Amino acid sequence: MRFLKSIFLVFSISVILLGCNALKTAVFDQYSYQKSIEIKIEALKLMEKATEQYQQYSNEVDELELEIEKIVAYEKYKPNNEVTYKMWLLLSDKDKNLLAGFFKRWKEKEKLSSYFIEEAKKINEEAMDLLIQYEAKKEPEFKARLLDIISKN
């Protein structure tokens, strides 16, 4: 009987520890939080200029894309950070409809309509706000909403 209790105790502790490990989320990171806010503000400001010729702003777009590449690389190597990393990958993917995809379209079309810009800004702002809120609070609600965006793209 004592032997069974010992086995049950070891088994229970193992299950608890494995369960906790599976739920790990990266801790708050001031750098990630700050860079996410900076990139959001810069991106939205730059998107407003897409009614003008792309060439006028190509250097600014290149600089922003470099900042996004840097944050993607930074997020990649943080432990327990899969959701944030995947979201940054999505934002940086030129074949998707978020940040990098918007700038690719602007480059191809030279100018974009005000209506298109406003709609794209709403979508990107919502995605970036979720990312920032998740980075700040690491709450399951924000994680679920980010995973929903990731899965739909």
Number of domains in the chain: 1
Distance CA 8, CA 31 (A): 44
Residue type, 30: Q
**Structural domain harbouring 123:** 27-152
Burial class from Cβ neighbours inside 10 Å (0-12, 13-18, 19+) for residue 118 reads exposed
Global pTM value: 0.80
Structural domain includes residue 122: yes
pLDDT of residue 29: 87
Query: What pLDDT, on the 0 to 100 scale, is given for residue 50?
Result: 98
Enclosing H/E stretch for 98: none
Angle between helices 30-48 and 58-76 (to 10 degrees): 160
The answer as to whether 17 is a domain residue is no
- Residue 3 inside a domain? The answer is no
Which regions of the chain are under pLDDT 70?
1-26
Is the residue at 9 inside a domain?
Answer: no
Q: What is the pLDDT of residue 92?
A: 98
Over the stretch 35-50, which tens digit does the pLDDT of each residue have? 999 999 999 999 999 9
